[in-house]
Amino acid sequence: MEQIITTIIIIILALLIPNTISLTKAKLAGRRGVRIYQYFIDTIKLLRKGAVYSPTTTAVFKIAPSVYLGSSIVAMLMIPVGVLHPIFAFNGDVIMFCYLMALGRAALILAAMDTGSSFEGMGASREALYGALIEPALFLTLGTLALISGSTNFSDIFSLIQSDSANMVIVMLIIGYISIKIFTVEMGRIPIDDPKTHLELTMVHEVMILDYCGVDLAFINIGNWLKGASIAMIAANAITTAFSLNISLTIAFALLVAIIIGVVESIYARAKMARNATYILTITAIALLMFFVAFTLLKEIEL
Amino acid sequence: MLINVVIVLISLAILIFAVPSKYKIWVTMAIIALGAVVSCSEAIKVIATNTSTNLGNTKSLILGNGYMQIDLLSAIFIIIVSVVAISVTIYACGYFKVHLKSKSKIQLSLHCFSLVALYLAMIGALSSQDVYRFLICWELMTISSFLLIIFDAQNSEIRKNALNYLVLMHIGFIALVVAFSTLMTGDYPATFDSLKIYFENNNPIPLFAIFLLGFGIKAGIFPLHIWLPRTYSAAPAHVSAFMSGAMKTLGIYGVLRVISYIDSELMTIGITLFIIGGISGLWGVLFSTMQRDTKRFLAYSSMENVGVIFLAIGVALIGQASQNHFMAMCAMTGAIIQLINHSAFKTLLFFSVGNICTQAKSTNMERLGGLAKKMPMTALLTLICLFVACGLPPLCGFISEFMIYYGLFDTIAMQQNNIIIAICGLVIMSFIGGVVILAYTKFYSIIFLGNAKEHSHEKITDVGTARIVAFTLPILTIFAIGFFPAIFVKIIAPIAATIVGGADSLKGMNTVLESLNNVSIVSIVMVAIIAALYYTKNRMLRSRKVTESPTWGCGFTAPTERMQYSGESFSEGLQSISPSLSKDKVDDDKLERDEIFPNKHSVRVEHSDRIDTLFTQWWVAIIHKINKRVMTIRTNRVNYYILYALLFFVVIFLLTIFNLM
C-alpha cells in the first residue's frame, strides 16, 4: 500500500513539475500561462496520433522510446518520498538508478543517430558528452548520501539520516543544490539547454527527438517527466531531511524545485555551448567538495 | 589424463598439413573441440568440487619435468579460453571460405596449425605449476600468435606491426625470465608454489614489479599498450578476437596468480594497480573515442576494460590490506566477472568488425554507415555487445560494474578506513562509464545507423551462417550472467576468495547475493515493461496512419548522405575539453582566394598516441644511425666471420695475459 502511494505521488509530481515550471515562467514574464493540465492534454493528443517514420531509420529508432520510457519508469519505482518506501528497494539500488538513467540516454542517442540527420547528431553528441561529465557528480551525490546515512538503499537513506547539527543541515542543503543542478543538466534546462529554443544548431535534448511524433514522442515526454520527477524528488527528500520536516512538505519541496528552475529560466540566459562543459565540471567539483566536507564533519563528530 | 590428451592433440595437429585445403579448418575445429571438452570437463570438476586437481607428473624432454595442476583460478580461465577458442574456430570456418582461393595451401595449414598451437599453449600455461613449462608455453603462445597475425603478410604494414608485436612480447618474456630466475637464485624449487615462500622471506615489491612488467605487456596496461592498436589492426578479425578475448586475459591471470601468493605490502601493490588501472582506463576510453579505424577503436576499448579490471584488483588488494574484506571480495568478484564479460563481448565485437571488413571492404568507420539494414544479424548482435560494453542493465556488463560499485559504496556507507580510495574509484569509474557510452554509441551509430556513405555499399549482404553461429556461446554467456547474476557470483566468489579474503569472507557475500536477486527482478520487470510498451504502441498504430517521410532537414531539401553527422564531429566535444593527450595533426588544403566555385578539397585529421610517438622521436633516429654503422661489419662472407672469431679469441687471450679478467 505504502509503495503504491509513493508511486502515485511521484506520478502526480511528474505531471505537475513541467506545468509548474512553465507557469512560473509565465507569471514572471507577466503572461497568464497555460492551464495546469495542458501538458497532460497535449500528451493524450499525441497518444491518439499516427506516426511518420523516415526511410533511413531502423528498428532502433522505433524501440528507443519504449526503452527510454521503460527505464524511466523502473528508475522512478526506486525513489522514496520522505519515509514512504518505494516499490523496489534493495542495497545498492542507487547504482542501478544511475545505470537505468544511462540506459535511457544511450537509447535516445542511438535513436537520434539512426535518422542520419546532420542536426540530430549534434544533440546526440552533446547529450553523450554532458551525460559523461555529469555522471561523477551524480555518483558523488549518492556517495555523500551513503556516507552520512550508512546505507546504499534509497528508501533507507532518507529515513536514516539524522540531521541534528547545523553542519549536517548545510551538507543536506548542498546535496539538494547539486541535485537541482543535476536536474538542469539531465533534463536539458537553462543554462545548459533551452527547451524553448527554435534553432536546431543550439539544441541538446530537443534536437535529438526532432524526428519523433505521435505515440513515440508521447513516450519520450512521459519518460522525461518521470526522470525529472525522480531527480526532483531526490532534491526534495534531501531538503526535507535537512530540516527534519513532515513528509507532506516533501511534495511541496519537489514543486519548489520546479519553481526554482522556472525562476532561473526566467532570469538567466542560456550559456554558450562551449561553456557548458566547464559548467558541468564545476558541479562535479562542488559535489567533490561536498563529499569531503561531509567526510571531515563525520570524522569530527566521531572524535 | 589431460597431458596425454594434449600430446595426442599435438600429434593430431600435424594432420592439418596433410588434408586438402577445404577440410583443414574442420580438422582444426575437431582438435580444438576435443581439447576444449577434455580441459573444460576437468575445469568444471575443479569448480564444482572446489578442490584443485593434480593432473600427474610428466617427464618430458621438451615440456620439462614437473606436474600439471588445475586450481580454481586456472579453471575459470581455462573455461574462458576454451569458449573463445571454439567460437573463434567456428568463425574461422566462415572466414576461410572467402580466402580459400587467394591463399596458398601452406599458408592455410600454418594458420590452422597455429590456431591449435595457440590454444594448446594457453591451456598448457594455465595448467602448469612448473615454471619452465609455463615459460615454454608462454613463448609458444607468442610465436603461434605471431604466425596467426601475419596471415596477410603480403602487406608490408602488417609485417611491420607483427614484428613490433614480436619484439614487445619478448621484452615481456625477458622480464618473466628475469623474475623467475630471481626466484631460482634463492634455491627455491622451480614451481609457482615457491613464490609463496619467496614472498614470505623477501620484500615482494621488486619481484612483483618485474612480474607486472612481464604480464602487463600481455594485458596491455598503460604505458605498455602500444602494441594493441597496431597488432589488432594488422591481424585478421578472428585472430584479433582470439588474442583479445583469450590471450590478453592470460596477462591478467599471471598478475592474479602472483598476487595470490603475496601476503605483505598489499597496500603499496594495491595502490599501484589502482593508479595504473585508472590511467589505463581513462587513456583507453579517451583514445577510443578518437579512433576512426574500427579495430583500433576496439584495441583502445580493450585497454579501457583491462584498466577497469586492474582498478578493481587494486581496490580488492587495498581492501585486503586494511581488513576490509567485504570490499576486497566484491571488487575481486567484479574484476573476474568483468574479465569474463570482456572475453565474451570483445570476441564478438571483433567478429562483427570482421564481418563488416569482408563485406564492406573497409575498416574506416567514416566510410561506413547504414549497415544495419544490409547486415541485420550482425547489427543486432553488435547492439547487444554495445550494451555489455557500456555496462548497461540488464546484460552482464552491468553485473560486474554493480559488484565493483557495491564494494565501493558499502565501504563509504560503513565508514571503513578506505573511504578516500573508494570515492576516487567511484569518480574514475563513473567518468569512464559515461565516456564509454559516448565511445560506443559513436562506434555503433557511425557504422550501422544512418545512410550508407558510399554508393558501393548499396549491394552489401549479411555474412554466411558460420560467422553468425560463432556468436552463440558468448551471447548465451552474456544473457545468462545478465539475468541470473546471483548464480554466477556464487560460483565466482570462491575463486575470488582464493586471491583475497580467504574462506571466511564468503559468508559476507550473502547481502550481495540478495541485492543481485533484486537486480535480476528489476531487470526482468524492466524488460517486460519495455516489451509491453512496444507491443501497445504497435497495437495502437495498427489502426492508424503510418507514413514514411524523409528525415527532417531543417528546411533543406537536398541533403546527401555525406552531410550526416560524422564520427570525428561526434567526439569533437570531448576532444575539445580533454587535455592534449594525443598529438593531433590536421592536413587540409585551404580554400584559395580566387576560388569562387570551390574545387575538390580534402582534409585529413590524425590523432596519434603520445606514448606511441615516443618511439618516433630523435633518440630513435640516433639508435638507427648507430645500428647502421655497427651493421657494416655484417658482410655475409664466411671468411670475415672467421676473422671476427679469431679477433675475439685474441682479445680474450690478451685480457687474460694482462690479468684484466
Q: Which of A182, A161, A140 is nearest to A298 (CA)?
A: A161
- Could you tell me the residue range of the domain that residue A100 belongs to? 2-302
Inter-chain touch B519–A113, beta carbons under 8 Å: no
The answer to whether B399 contacts chain A (CB < 8 Å) is no
Cβ-based contacts of B561 with chain A (< 8 Å): 116
- How far does the CA of residue A201 sit from the closest CA of chain B (Å)? 10
Angle ∠(B429,B434,B436) on CA atoms, nearest 5: 90
Q: What is the pLDDT of residue A116?
A: 87
Q: What is the pLDDT of residue B437?
A: 95
Residues B495, B503: Cα–Cα separation, whole Å: 10
Q: What is the pLDDT of residue A302?
A: 53
Residues B194, B210: Cα–Cα separation, whole Å: 17
Give the DSSP H/E element, type plus range, for residue B541: helix B510-542
Q: Which of A168, A184, A120, A147 is nearest to B423 (CA)?
A: A147
Choose, out of A3, A129, A206, the residue to mutate when testing the contact with B (most B CBs < 10 Å): A129
- The packing angle between helices A38-47 and A214-242, to 10°, is 150
pLDDT digits over A60-74, tens only? 999 999 999 999 999
ipTM, interface predicted TM-score of the complex:
0.95
**Which among A58, A70, A121 has CB closest to B530?**
A70
Q: Which residue has the higher pLDDT, B171 or B636?
A: B171
Give the DSSP H/E element, type plus range, for residue B14: none
Are B194 and B183 in contact by the 8 Å Cβ rule? The answer is yes
What is the rounded average pLDDT of the residues B382-407?
A: 93
- How far does the CA of residue A45 sit from the closest CA of chain B (Å)? 13
User: Would you call B548 helix, strand, or coil by DSSP?
Assistant: strand
What is the rounded average pLDDT of the residues B207-226?
A: 91
User: Would you call A81 helix, strand, or coil by DSSP?
Assistant: strand
User: Would you call B587 helix, strand, or coil by DSSP?
Assistant: strand
The answer to whether B539 contacts chain A (CB < 8 Å) is no
User: Would you call B524 helix, strand, or coil by DSSP?
Assistant: helix
Cβ-based contacts of A47 with chain B (< 8 Å): 540
- pLDDT greater than 50 at residue B181: yes
The answer to whether B552 contacts chain A (CB < 8 Å) is yes
Q: What is the mean pLDDT of chain B?
A: 88
Q: Which of B433, B443, B489, B209 is nearest to B308 (CA)?
A: B433
Cβ-based contacts of B444 with chain A (< 8 Å): 110
pLDDT digits over A135-172, tens only? 999 999 999 999 988 889 988 888 888 777 888 888 89
Supply A21's cell numbers: 515550471
Number of residue pairs across A and B with CB atoms under 8 Å? 256
Residues B444, A302: Cα–Cα separation, whole Å: 50
> DSSP characters for B75-142?
HHHHHHHHHHHHHHHHHHHHHHHHHTTTS-HHHHHHHHHHHHHHHHHHHHHHHB-BHHHHHHHHHHHH
- pLDDT greater than 90 at residue B633: no
Residue type (1 letter), B655: L
Residues B374, B517: Cα–Cα separation, whole Å: 39
User: Would you call A270 helix, strand, or coil by DSSP?
Assistant: coil
Say how many C-beta atoms besides its own lie within 10 A of residue B559's C-beta.
17
pLDDT digits over B6-31, tens only? 777 777 878 888 888 888 888 889 98
pLDDT digits over B101-158, tens only? 788 888 888 899 999 999 999 998 998 888 888 898 899 999 999 999 988 888 888 9
Cβ-based contacts of A211 with chain B (< 8 Å): 551-552
Beta strands at B582-588 and B64-70: parallel, antiparallel or unpaired: unpaired
Listed by number, the residues of chain B in 507-526 with a beta carbon closer than 8 Å to a beta carbon of chain A are 511-512, 514-515, 518-519, 521-522, 525-526
Percentage of residues in chain B having pLDDT higher than 70:
97
Inter-chain touch A210–B552, beta carbons under 8 Å: yes
Q: What is the pLDDT of residue B33?
A: 92
For chain B, domain boundaries: 270-534, 616-657
What is the rounded average pLDDT of the residues B306-313?
A: 95
Q: What is the pTM of this model?
A: 0.93
- pLDDT greater than 50 at residue B246: yes
- Torsion-angle region of B191 (φ positive above 0: left; ψ -120 to 50: alpha; else: beta): beta
Cβ-based contacts of A54 with chain B (< 8 Å): 548-552
Q: What is the chain B residue with the closest CA to A125?
A: B570
- The packing angle between helices B472-483 and B72-99, to 10°, is 140
Please report which confidence band the pLDDT of residue A303 belongs to, taking 50, 70 and 90 as the band edges: very low
Q: Which of B157, B179, B303 is nearest to B229 (CA)?
A: B303
Phi, psi of B584, rounded to the nearest 5 degrees: -95, 140
Q: Which residue has the higher pLDDT, A94 or B611?
A: A94
- pLDDT greater than 70 at residue B232: yes
Domains contained in chain A, number: 1
Residues B216, B518: Cα–Cα separation, whole Å: 37
Q: How far is residue B55 from each of residues A31, B48, B51, B229, measured CA to CA in Å?
A: 84, 17, 13, 38
How far from the centroid of its chain's Cα atoms is residue B27's Cα?
27
pLDDT digits over A196-236, tens only? 777 777 788 888 888 899 999 999 999 999 999 999 999 99
pLDDT digits over A78-133, tens only? 999 988 889 999 998 999 999 999 999 999 999 999 998 888 888 899 999 999 99
Cβ-based contacts of A147 with chain B (< 8 Å): 412-413, 415, 419
Among B96-105, B135-144, B367-376, B530-539, the minimum mean pLDDT is found in: B96-105
Task: Write down the H helix ranges in B186-293.
Answer: 193-201, 204-219, 227-234, 237-242, 248-260, 266-290
The answer to whether B564 contacts chain A (CB < 8 Å) is yes
Q: What is the pLDDT of residue B59?
A: 58
Residue type (1 letter), A170: I
Choose, out of B286, B403, B438, B566, the residue to mutate when testing the contact with A (most A CBs < 10 Å): B438
Name B219's Cβ contacts closer than 8 Å, sequence gap at least 6.
Answer: B248, B249, B251, B252, B255, B306, B310
- The packing angle between helices B396-413 and B485-499, to 10°, is 60
Q: Which of A68, A154, A90 is nearest to B485 (CA)?
A: A90
Say how many C-beta atoms besides its own lie within 10 A of residue A170's C-beta.
16
Supply A279's cell numbers: 559548467
pLDDT digits over B538-578, tens only? 999 999 999 998 888 877 777 788 888 888 888 888 888 87
Residue type (1 letter), A119: F
The answer to whether B491 contacts chain A (CB < 8 Å) is no
Residues B93, B103: Cα–Cα separation, whole Å: 14
- pLDDT greater than 60 at residue B61: no
- pLDDT greater than 90 at residue B269: yes
Residues B50, B534: Cα–Cα separation, whole Å: 45
Residues B258, A293: Cα–Cα separation, whole Å: 39
Residues B152, B95: Cα–Cα separation, whole Å: 13
Residues B201, A153: Cα–Cα separation, whole Å: 45
What is the rounded average pLDDT of the residues A245-268?
A: 90
**Which among A58, A88, A106 has CB closest to B437?**
A106
Inter-chain touch B438–A131, beta carbons under 8 Å: yes
What is the rounded average pLDDT of the residues B397-403?
A: 93
Phi, psi of B53, rounded to the nearest 5 degrees: -100, 140
Name B346's Cβ contacts closer than 8 Å, sequence gap at least 6.
Answer: B241, B244, B245, B298, B301, B302, B305
Are B498 and B72 in contact by the 8 Å Cβ rule? The answer is yes
Cβ-based contacts of A295 with chain B (< 8 Å): 419
Q: What is the pLDDT of residue B339?
A: 94
Inter-chain touch A125–B550, beta carbons under 8 Å: no
Name B627's Cβ contacts closer than 8 Å, sequence gap at least 6.
Answer: none
Q: What is the pLDDT of residue A229?
A: 94
Residues B24, B18: Cα–Cα separation, whole Å: 8
pLDDT digits over B418-467, tens only? 888 999 999 999 999 999 999 999 999 999 998 888 877 778 888 888 88
Cα within 13 Å of Cα(A92), Cβ side: 24
Q: What is the pLDDT of residue B636?
A: 82
Q: Which residue has the higher pLDDT, B218 or B605?
A: B218
What is the rounded average pLDDT of the residues B499-509?
A: 76
pLDDT digits over B33-44, tens only? 988 998 898 889
**Which among A143, A200, A277 has CB closest to B423?**
A143
Supply A203's cell numbers: 539544441
The answer to whether B391 contacts chain A (CB < 8 Å) is yes
Residues A48, A220: Cα–Cα separation, whole Å: 15
- pLDDT greater than 60 at residue B62: no
Q: How far is residue B290 from each of residues A214, B219, B442, B581, measured CA to CA in Å?
A: 36, 22, 10, 11
